[in-house]
Structure 1
Amino acid sequence: MASNDKPETCSGCNEPISSGRIVTALNKKWHPEHFVCNTCRRPIDGAKFHQHDGGVHCVGCFAEHHSPRCHGCGDPITERVIQALGVSWHANHFVCGGCKKELGGGGFMEQAGRPYCSACYADKFAARCSGCAQPITDKAIIALDGKWHRDCFKCNKCRNPVTDSTFQVQDNKPLCGKCA
């Protein structure tokens, strides 16, 4: 400071900062002991702090009191947040309810409030084909008290897919018009 300059004024106590360290933050000057966390009231040491609701908070208090909580573990989320199913998740806790694989920001299916990858969802919850018993994940043919993949709804004699809107039934199995 030059001899004709007046000393800086501390934004915490409004007293001059005549010697020693000066903390510069938020376009203001502070005595180091007066730049404090609004929650724990301890001096903020170092360059990392957070602003929230007009106040400053140390990293620990901000995480504990203002960070979103992970729906999976309940702990504060201080890094990447996944918002899904109306709640917040750590990326490594937003996992498939079946295979437990991380779902990240990709697509998922929901069942009873739990996320599932498309493969697990199909395996656990999709309708099963009356022909092959595999999950139906696309359009289905509904006939003979069941759902069928298009390629599985086959004539019981010639084994070709039945594509006509009318067909015959023998032993609760479809017959195409040619074989009927």
Structure 2
Amino acid sequence: MSTKMAEPSKCNQCEGSLYGQKFILNAEIPHCVKCYEKLFCNNCFACGQLIGCTSKDVSFKAQHWHGECFLCKMCNQSLVDQPFATRDEMLVCSACHITEFSAKCHACLKNIMPGSKKMEHKGNSWHEACFTCKSCQQLIGTKSFIQKDASNYCLCCYEKNFALQCIHCKKPIITGGVNYHDQPWHKECFVCTGCKQQLAGQRFTSRDDLVYCFDCFCNLFAKRCAYCTTPISGLGGSKYISFQERQWHNDCFNCKRCCVSLVGRGFLTCNDDVFCPDCGKDI
């Protein structure tokens, strides 16, 4: 035996009569159309108007549109049941998104379709098939390459066509070269003749066409101070005193007895020592 549910007599919200009127049940609670739309319907994100019960409500990320308002921002084509994307919070159909926003291949200037493999370097993009060596036309892929004059070259072609040869080891210089006396060197080949320390970015000098770091040059060739016995480099404009084949640092050229500086003054010598005129009287 079945029972028939009684037709509701009034709206649960405004208590208006529902006899002969359209109504909507929400959780088995009857509402007239006006009250239902006021309580439960959304406003359209595009036009701001209410999306009534008889209109199609399209939602995306907690926002709602009339079906007829759910359009591509660029071409105004309907996006209902169509693939679309978002750009700066605006809705764009797939065709417009590809045309306007997809990366363009640096070689063929055509769009790189979303989902297809692309290669990127310093802000530029290529189709995988367009990312080739300028010289041999072979695919570069993930192999090492060098860019010259906005073109890409595999290492083999770059070495053959452009790379300088190190004056020391005779091998191509790909990166990090040093130029000295108009000759190219690898950084790792441009070293001190004495201690073999790399000289790129360091103070160095040369003697008999050989290069030395500052310390090695001083230890090997510089004269030594008659007082402190450490090297007098003379490099960088440093001053020193020279007298009878002996040299002193300016700071070391002092009276042996009273320690007054003798730079620019008269002095007396006794054996290996120097004295001011006053102290020299007692020698």
Name the TM tier (shorter chain): 0.5 to 0.7
Q: Is the 8 A contact 2:258 2:279 kept in 1?
A: no
Structure 1: gaps spanning 5 or more residues: 1-30
- What is residue 204 of structure 2 aligned with on the other side? 108
Which structure dedicates a bigger proportion of its chain to strand?
2
- TM-score normalised over the length of structure 1: 0.64
Q: Is the 8 A contact 1:141 1:149 kept in 2?
A: yes
Q: Secondary structure at the match of 2:158?
A: helix
Question: For 1:49-128, what aligned pairs fall within 5 Å after superposition?
Answer: 58-128=154-224
- TM-score normalised over the length of structure 2: 0.43
Q: Cα RMSD between the aligned structures?
A: 3.9
Q: Is the 8 A contact 1:140 1:147 kept in 2?
A: yes
Question: For 1:133-148, what aligned pairs fall within 5 Å after superposition?
Answer: 133-137=229-233, 138-148=238-248
Consecutive aligned runs of 4 or more in structure 1 exceeding 3 Å deviation: 35-38, 41-53, 55-58
Candidates 264, 271, 277, aligned match of 1:171 = 271
Q: How many residues align?
A: 158
Measured after TM superposition, the shift of residue 136 of structure 1 is 0.7
- What is residue 253 of structure 2 aligned with on the other side? 153
Structure 2: gaps spanning 5 or more residues: 1-128
Report percent identity of matched pairs.
Answer: 29
Q: Give the letter aligned to residue 152 of structure 1.
A: C
Change (3 A) 1:130 1:69: same
Q: Give the letter aligned to residue 173 of structure 1.
A: D
Measured after TM superposition, the shift of residue 90 of structure 1 is 1.3
**Alignment deviations for residues 2-51 of structure 1 (CA, whole Å, 9 cap, x no partner):** xxxxxxxxxxxxxxxxxxxxxxxxxxxxx99xx8875xx67565587678
Measured after TM superposition, the shift of residue 152 of structure 1 is 2.7
Q: Give the letter aligned to residue 119 of structure 1.
A: D
Q: Give the letter aligned to residue 112 of structure 1.
A: D
Question: 1:133, 1:36 → 2: CA distance?
Answer: 61
- What is residue 87 of structure 2 aligned with on the other side? none
Question: 2:276, 2:254 → 1: CA distance?
Answer: 8
Q: Give the letter aligned to residue 259 of structure 2.
A: N
Question: 1:179, 1:51 → 2: CA distance?
Answer: 73
Question: 2:255, 2:227 → 1: CA distance?
Answer: 11
Q: Secondary structure at the match of 1:179?
A: helix
Which structure dedicates a bigger proportion of its chain to helix?
2
Measured after TM superposition, the shift of residue 80 of structure 1 is 1.6
Relative contact order, higher structure (CA 8 A, sep 6+) = 1
Q: Larger C-alpha radius of gyration, 1 or 2?
A: 2
Question: 1:64, 1:165 → 2: CA distance?
Answer: 65
